[in-house]
Amino acid sequence: MMVAGCGSDAAPLPAAQNGSDDVPAVTLRPPASATGASQPPEVASATGPAATAGNGAAAGYDAVGYASWYGDGLEGATTASGAPFANAGMTAAHRTLPLGSYAEVTALDTGRTILVRITDRGPTPPDREIDLSTAAARSLGTAAKPLAPVRVRSVAASPADAAAIAQGQAASPRLDTPEAVLRPLRRQLPAPTRALPTPVAPVAVPPGVPLTVQIAAFSNEARAKEVAASFHGRVETADGLWRVRVGPLSTAAEAKRVRDAAVSRGYGDAAILRDR
């Protein structure tokens, strides 16, 4: 999965609401390949079975960041794992976790936790930790917003859970993470560098200054063309990326409708650009 938005009309994302209670910090562990050091076979957790070496090179991965979600316009597209993308599956894209491995994703706002299988690569924006399928985002309770603070922890799936996900079903329910654990995790969230575009007032744009909506940028041309077709847009290529754009549009109100439609379909970085 190579979805990424590259809009320029962006405002800072509001900071996560972190608690101030005096609770012990939670130590997160990056993958061994990121530190050059070997990782122990288990990582303590309050959300179910400990992460184990059963996940191969992913053993010990434990990080916080922001989750986005994707799916519309990509049904059936070939993922990095070679399998067709299924929007209804409990899957996700990650930059470094091994394809075919499993991860627990916890929503830091609510403590809700789900199990996903890593089947694709992404997300492209550096401030994002994971891209969830639409079904996974709905199960986690984060589908209503383009970005959500999460914890991603590598785990070894039980045979029953692996079979359920392979059949397009959700794994067995996970215990919610308690607030006492969520608070220190929120404090470790990196500062987001990308956010929703600033709303544009619905006023007419002077002639000769049309607007364009950039839906997203992809590192895969075929996927960019699929998404462009679903928005009746076009694909522009630059710097090794294929950008999906719609326009020119004559009014800010029209551009905002297109941008909002893209955001509602999971393209949270969709942005309104002023043509030069």
**pLDDT tens digit sequence for 154-198:** 999 999 999 999 999 999 999 999 999 999 999 999 876 654 444
Q: Give the residue ranges of the chain where pLDDT is below 50.
A: 1-27, 31-54, 56, 195-205
Q: What's the confidence (pLDDT) of residue 276?
A: 57
50/102 Cα distance (integer angstroms): 12
* Residue 34 main-chain phi, psi, to 5 deg: -85, -20
pLDDT of residue 206: 53
- Which two tokens mark 69? 């979600």
Cα separation, 157 vs 153, in Å, equals 12
What's the pLDDT at 196? 44
Phi/psi for 231 (5° steps) reads -105, 5
The pLDDT, as a whole number, for residue 176 is 94
pTM: 0.59
Q: Is 17 exposed, middle or buried (0-12, 13-18, 19+ CB in 10 A)?
A: exposed
Looking at residue 77, what is its pLDDT?
A: 78
Q: What was the pLDDT predicted at 203?
A: 41
Q: Judge contact between 154 and 47, C-beta under 8 A.
A: no
Domains and CATH numbers, the chain: 1-14+192-276 (3.30.70.1070), 17-187 (2.40.40.10)
